[in-house]
Structures are given as structure tokens and as C-alpha cells.
Amino acid sequence: MIVSSNYELSAPSSIILKGSDCIIQRNVPLSGYTTYRVGGKARWYTEPKCWQEVEALFQWVEKQQIPFLAIGAGSNLLVSDNGFEGLVINTRHLKDCSIDEENRIITVGAGYPLPKLAWKAAKKGWLGLEWAVGIPGTIGGAVVMNAGAHQGCMADVVINVTVAYPDGKIETIPASQLDYSYRHSRLQQQPCVVLQATLALKPGTGKDEVMALTSKNFKLRRETQPYDKPSCGSVFRNPKPYAAGWLIEKTGLKGHRIGGAMVSHQHANFILNMGNATARDIFDLIRYVQEKVEATWSIFLQPEVKFLGQF
């Protein structure tokens, strides 16, 4: 156990930051915090409940001189079997949500589930998030990745994003400065933790119509994508004008396995944990798919999934 004036001892496996209720746990398995259900331990792990705790965490990170990573639902993440020698900050408790009914503006915490917000908007008859109903992530991850589906994306609705930087600065960044493009934002290039986002939605033609469109999108995803086995969602970005899944399927890779990892028969841009996969199995299958598709089509598939730790 590390002892310092910056925090107090709580238990052999955890510490409490002085002046807050923020608990930092030691050697926490990350497999339970990702949708792939694989991965080793985080040297340190925490779940802040407010912005002030995030600021306190950054002071601790600075003193310890360790790397950090913010996660939400862990739906776009592959954690190495060797784990992560740093601090994982899970923002799932930052779920405040306020709604400006008159202007159809929603300000929502980084940990708020994206599908839940999509249904909330649909029930109000507001358009702008009906595409997001089947994406198993949080608002924080969605604004960083510019998540999208069904010809919609976060860039279409974001007004601004509030982030915390390691130096303690909190900044609200307007959408015009986020450099949004396909599955990209400037937030992917700078160390920060998303705290909240403000979204502007549009009036629909009525609650029933928007609910029907949202339900249609949800049904389509359930019919065309595998949900019966752990996955990260889409593994690769679509190299327009092609779809990554089409390229992988036409390369003959549906059903290909490495260890406990398999390319889905239902949708080739999904790699599934068949129940006994290691992170290395999944990583090796991702690389194998890249090699085969590039050899066949002269197109290198860029991963959408993020890798954490050493592979």
C-alpha cells in the first residue's frame, strides 16, 4: 500500500482520496467492465461520482506519474490479458440529465447510456437520436468516437462537450472545435475525461412516428447484428464506399476462428467471444482479418475498437 499525504488508507486493496469519497481500487479485473468480457487487471480503478472527484483524481495521477484512461460501458474497448499499468476512470456514475423542453436541448452526463437517451428523446417525439437506440455505449464514448448508425451520428446533435484535463482545467468545447468527421473527434488525440455533453434535437412529426422509427432501427440492428455473444460492436471503420463487413464476408472470413474468438456468421464486422476467448485471441483475429482483406482488396481496415495495454 502506498502512503502519501494526498490520500488516506481505506483497506489493503483500496485508497480514499483525502477530502472526498472517491475510492481508488487496486488490481481490478477489467473483464467485467467491457462488453468483450476479456482482459487483465487495471493497476488502479475508480468510479468518480462528480466533477470534483475527477479533479481530485487528476491531482493524484499527476503525483503518481501514471497513465490514465476513461471508459464508460466498455463497448468499444479490447483490454490486454496483461492488463493496464495505470488508472482506469469509469465515468458510469456521471449520469445527470437535464432537459430544456422548450428548445429540445438535453444536457447529459458522460455515463448516461446512449440507448436510454435515444428512447427518452423518442418518447418526447424529438428527432436526432433515433439511430442510437441499439448502440451499447455511453454519451462520453459516443461524443469522443462520433458514434453513428443509420445515416446519423453524434456530430449532428452535439452543441458542446465539457471535459476535464489532467492539469485540472475544465473546458466546454463547442462542436465547431471538435473536428468531427467519420468516427473521429479531436478528443481522441488529447488526454481528458468527458464530463457531459449538450445536445440539440429536432421536432418530429409526432411521438408515435418517432417511436416507430426508433423501434424500426432497434429491430433492424437486432435482426442483422449478433447480440447473443460478447463483442465490442463493429470492429472496423467502414472504408467508404465499401462496408467493412461486406469486404470481410467476400474475403470468406465469416466463421473464421482463432482460439475462442470468431468472425460472426451474422455480421462479418463483429468478432465474437465464443465463451472462452482471451484478449490475445481477439487481437490476433483482428490482425488476421486485416491481413487477408488487405491481400484481397488492397484495403487496410482501420480498427474502430480501441486497444488498452500491451498485446
pLDDT tens for 171-184 read 999 999 999 999 99
Distance between CA 192 and CA 205 in Å, rounded? 38
**pLDDT above 50 (res 207):** yes
Q: Would you say the C-alpha torsion 52, 164, 303, 266 has a positive or negative sign?
A: positive
Architecture of the structural domain at 226-308:
Alpha-Beta Complex (3.90)
Distance between CA 158 and CA 301 in Å, rounded? 27
Alpha helix segments (H runs only) across the chain: 51-64, 114-123, 139-145, 207-224, 244-250, 279-297
Can you name the residues that pair with 107 across neighbouring β-strands?
98, 198
The confidence score (pLDDT) of residue 5 equals: 38
**Residue 1 pLDDT level (bands cut at 50, 70, 90):** very low
Whether the CB-CB separation of 186 and 177 falls below 8 Å is answered with yes
Beta strands in the chain (DSSP E): 7-11, 14-17, 23-29, 41-46, 68-71, 77-79, 84-90, 97-100, 105-109, 126-127, 148-149, 152-153, 158-164, 170-174, 193-200, 202-203, 257-258, 261-263, 271-273, 306-308
Give the mean model confidence (pLDDT) for residues 232-248: 96
Q: Is 259 helix (H, G, I), strand (E, B) or coil?
A: coil
Span 187-202, pLDDT tens digits: 999 899 999 999 999 9
Question: Please, what CATH class does the domain formed by 7-90 belong to?
Answer: alpha beta
**pLDDT above 80 (res 283):** yes
**pLDDT above 60 (res 50):** yes
Give the mean model confidence (pLDDT) for residues 41-63: 95
**pLDDT above 60 (res 216):** yes
Burial of residue 260 (number of CB atoms within 10 Å: 0-12, 13-18, 19+) = middle
Task: Determine which one of 31, 183, 221, 264 is catalytic.
Answer: 183
Span 130-161, pLDDT tens digits: 999 999 899 999 999 999 998 899 999 999 99
The confidence score (pLDDT) of residue 135 equals: 92
Grid cell in block for residue 112: 448516461
- Please provide the distance, in angstroms rounded to a whole number, between the alpha carbons at the two ends of the chain: 28
The confidence score (pLDDT) of residue 254 equals: 98
Task: Determine which one of 47, 55, 130, 304 is catalytic.
Answer: 304
Of the candidates 234, 147, 232, the one whose C-alpha atom is nearest the C-alpha of residue 197 is 147
Q: Supply the pTM of this predicted model.
A: 0.91
Distance between CA 65 and CA 31 in Å, rounded? 25
**pLDDT above 80 (res 9):** no
- Where in the sequence of the chain do the CATH 3.30.465.10 domains occur? 97-223
Span 249-275, pLDDT tens digits: 999 999 999 999 999 999 999 999 999
* Residue 130 known to be catalytic: no
Q: Which residues contact 265 (CB under 8 A, 6 or more apart)?
A: 254, 255
- Where in the sequence of the chain do the CATH 3.90.78.10 domains occur? 226-308
* Residue 304 known to be catalytic: yes
* Range 97-223 has CATH code 3.60.21.10: no
Backbone angles phi, psi at 257, to 5 degrees: -125, 145
- Where in the sequence of the chain do the CATH 3.30.43.10 domains occur? 7-90
**Residue 19 pLDDT level (bands cut at 50, 70, 90):** confident
Grid cell in block for residue 127: 428527432
- The crossing angle, in degrees rounded to 10, of helices 207-224 and 114-123 is 150
Encoded amino acid at 86, one letter: G
Encoded amino acid at 184, one letter: H
* Residue 231 known to be catalytic: no
Span 80-114, pLDDT tens digits: 999 999 999 999 999 999 999 999 999 999 999 99
Burial of residue 294 (number of CB atoms within 10 Å: 0-12, 13-18, 19+) = middle
Of the candidates 207, 35, 202, the one whose C-alpha atom is nearest the C-alpha of residue 124 is 207
Task: Determine which one of 31, 185, 234, 264 is catalytic.
Answer: 234
